[in-house]
Structure 1
Amino acid sequence: MSVRWIWAESHVSIMGSFLPKPEFQSHICDNKVKRGEDIVFRCEANTDQLQTTWEKDGQMLYDGDRVSISQRGKVLSLMISKAKEEDEGKYTITLRNDTGTASESASVSLLQFDRDWRTIEWGKSVSVKRSLQEYKLSGQGPKHLRFLLHGPVGAGKSSIINSINSIFQDQVKMGALAATSSEFSFTKVYKTWQIKDMQTGLLPFVFSDIMGLEMGDYQGIHTDDIISILKGLIKENYKFNLFPLSKEDTKGYNNSPTLDDKVHCLVNVLSAKSINLMEENNNVFKKMREVREHASDIGIPQVVFMTHVDLACPLVKDNLKNIYSSKIIKKRMQECSNKLGVPMNCIFPVKNYHEEIHLNDNVNCLILNALKQAIGFADDYVSNCNSKSDFVVNNFSE
């Protein structure tokens, strides 16, 4: 009896030595899928002598309906057909046998909503462009509306100017030189760019390009200089320095700014591909919020042009018309709104021309609709300023 018991224990021990503890040889990966696509998790274990369970958010999954679980030798898989909103979540696979267990998790997220959360009339860029061509300022007011672009280095400020100019020139243009690196600012001087239309000539709105914001307190443009530009206190072609401009610099300081010199709309430029990586206490955000507060104090309207949308979301990269059904783009906009304090309806996702050699109507639609909204805000601001001096401003045609 005793001998048998010893033999049985020895047999189990010997047999157990051939049963390895479960481990993953390859791993499951996060799934980012379009609505209606299949969700697939696949991995490989180090042995086929095991039991497998799958869970979603802690709830066990079983074969049936849209769920298919399979094990072929060491290869394990889970497939969920025709992805829906309810499929988003955390998925966990657990391997177990008599020697132990191993688990790992991955997530599923959908790239799009059921319907667009903001509407845009695709294919209408020509009519929007015409309305901007017909926009006029009249009376004793400013000769043009001035937009100041500011934001982090590499966000695409100069590319926005080039893209707008390209649309009205009917061909891709490179006027404002854009940096190919996001480390240091390419723009060194205060420069104003006028937009020229092929049919009507110079349009009554201009864009002021400035040095980009950088992380360090003494890197990039100083916030005091941006605030001075808002007030029209800095002259054209002023070269930015380590320290802000003072009144003593007679070459760069404008002692008697007119409404023409002042900024009529502040355009914050941020990249959709990097805003989620920037902490709220990031020094660039601190600088941007400081500028925003001063702009608000003097009544200047503010918008955000969110660039690089095609680099932030594969759904948008495939088709720009997916931009307002993209969950990633809306999330980036919400992050921007939270970190910068700009309302969602003042944030406009756009794609600049940066590698294209031909114009694209969908790109034009996004840029022109964003521009038209910004012009509307600037128009209201100038109207309020003019009303104090009995000036009259005519709105652009619809």
Structure 2
Amino acid sequence: MPCLEGIKDDAGYISRITEATQHRNSLLEDLRDYKPYADLVSEIRILLLGPVGSGKSSFFNSVKSIFQGRLTRQAIVGSDITSITEQYRIYSIKYGIDGESLPFKLCDSMGLGEKEGVGLCVDDIPHILKGCMPDRYQFSPHKPITPKHPAFITSPSLKDGIHCVAYVFDINSMDSLSFAMRAKLIQVQKEVLNHGVAQVALLTKVKNSNEVLENNFSKMSKSMISQSQIIIASELLGVPISKIFVVENYASEREMDPVKDILILSALKQMLRAADDFLEDLPLE
């Protein structure tokens, strides 16, 4: 019996998709059962930082889509030139459409611009890290938030602060970042280091997601073409290679892909582990 047009009949392909789906479902269960370290906080907050158009909002949309089992685009996505994200957003994730919120949130920020007065104001970053910035705060590239702002959180708790920063970059741009952007990143990283927050890097827009994972889906292939970009990211950000993850976000797709899901969920799982390490390292008092 001939196959319908557009349906693959390769037994190897079907087997790989079946195994990928099983691994994706296992990761989903692990993340559904996740609890922050020692119950020090009720939820983990992960801050997404990166240049305009790097895929920060798309990463949130992709995570939400996987947990809801359908493609969704809550966060508006910008271009490589202008940042659509003008508000600070603290996004919760639900398991299923009507499920309970999971104990982690993704915090989306305005994209970093190369020039002063363009994109996220670096002076806003300490307030975000401490948990002083309210959800839906309207960013101003020229003027950071101050304690005089009516919604400024003056006494944030450990739960309100950021527990892990994920630097987000387009993997195809790592070897062509301008001097101005590199200088801006040094400023940003200095603020993050001063606050002792966990750091990871997320490289988006990988073109070979089906080739990135080994057959058992447990690790990335050592021969993947993006190794050079991973090394560049590690040297630029001072983030160990083990803390750098590659993903292909959902953009214009109409159907979901378990292999893409594995990369996205694996990255999220490692971000939560980094946040747990940060919590475990806090002073006893």
TM range (shorter): 0.7 to 0.9
Pairs within 5 Å for 1:229-244 = 229-241=128-140, 242-244=142-144
From 146, 151, 158, give the equivalent of 1:246.
146
Aligned residue identity for 1:271 = D
Residues 324 and 330, structure 1, Cα contact 8 Å, conserved in 2: no
**372, 385, 388: which one pairs with 2:284?**
388
Identify, as 1 or 2, the structure richer in helix: 2
1:340–1:136 Cα change, 3 Å: closer
Q: 1:363-374 to 2 correspondence within 5 Å? A: 363-374=260-271
- Distance in 2, matches of 1:384 and 1:318, equals 36
Distance 1:318 1:203, change over 3 A: closer
CA distance in 1, matches of 2:239, 2:38: 32
- Match for residue 202 of structure 2? 305
Q: Any idea what the Cα deviations from partners look like across 1:116-141, whole Å, max 9, x if unmatched?
A: xxxxx955111111011011248763
- What TM-score, normalized by structure 2, do the two folds share? 0.84
Other-structure match for 2:91: 193
Q: Give the whole-Å Cα distance in 1 for the aligned partners of 2:37 and 2:27.
A: 21
Q: Aligned pair in 2 of structure 1 residues 318, 356: CA closer, same or farther (>3 Å)?
A: same
Gaps of 5+ in 1: 1-120, 311-315, 390-398
Secondary structure at the aligned position of 1:309 is classed as coil
Q: What does residue 12 of structure 2 align with?
A: none
Q: In structure 2, how many angstroms separate the alpha carbons of the residues matched to 1:306 and 1:140?
A: 30
Structure 1 residues 193, 324: closer, same or farther in 2, change over 3 A? same
**C-alpha distance in 2 between matches for 1:284 and 1:252:** 31
Q: Which has the higher strand share?
A: 1
The residue type equivalent to 1:193 in the other structure is Y
AA aligned to 1:264 is H
One-letter identity of the residue aligned with 1:269? V
2:46 to 147, 161, 179: 147
3-state SS, counterpart of residue 34 of structure 2: coil
Structure 2 residue matching 1:206: 3-state secondary structure: strand
Other structure's SS at 2:228 match: helix
What pairs up with 1:1-398 in 2 under 5 angstroms? 122-123=20-21, 124-137=23-36, 141-179=40-78, 181-198=79-96, 200-241=99-140, 242-249=142-149, 251-279=150-178, 282-310=179-207, 316=208, 319-321=211-213, 324-385=221-282, 388-389=284-285
Whole-Å Cα distance in 1 between the matches of residues 210 and 275 of structure 2? 34
User: Deviation of residue 188 (structure 1)?
Assistant: 0.5
Unmatched 5+ stretches in structure 2: 1-18, 215-219
How far the C-alpha of 1:226 sits from its partner, in A, is 1.6
Structure possessing the higher relative contact order (Cα contacts under 8 Å, 6 or more residues apart): 2
Measure the CA separation in 2 of the matches of 1:202 and 1:170. Answer: 15
Task: After the TM superposition, list the runs of 4 or more consecutive aligned residues in structure 1 that deviate by more than 6 angstroms.
Answer: none
Which letter maps to 1:230? Answer: L
Q: Deviations over 1:247-295 (max 9, x none)?
A: 222x24221111111000001000111111114xx22222222222222
Q: Does structure 2 retain, via aligned residues, the 8 Å contact 1:320–1:362? A: no
SS in 1 for 2:139: coil
Amino acid across the alignment from 2:70: Q
Does the C-alpha gap of structure 1 residues 253 and 284 become closer, same or farther in structure 2, counting only changes over 3 Å? Answer: farther
Partner secondary structure for residue 273 of structure 1: helix
Instruction: Indicate conservation of the 8 Å contact 1:165/1:196, yes or no.
Output: yes
The CA deviation string for residues 142-197 of structure 1, in whole angstroms up to 9 with x for no partner, is 22100000100000000000000111101111111111x21111001111100011
Deviations 1:86-137 (A, max 9, x none): xxxxxxxxxxxxxxxxxxxxxxxxxxxxxxxxxxx95511111101101124
Alpha-carbon distance in 2 for matches of 1:388, 1:252:
30
Query: Within 1, Cα distance between the matches of 2:104 and 2:58?
Result: 17
- The size of the alignment, in residue pairs, is 259
Q: Which amino acid aligns with 2:84?
A: F
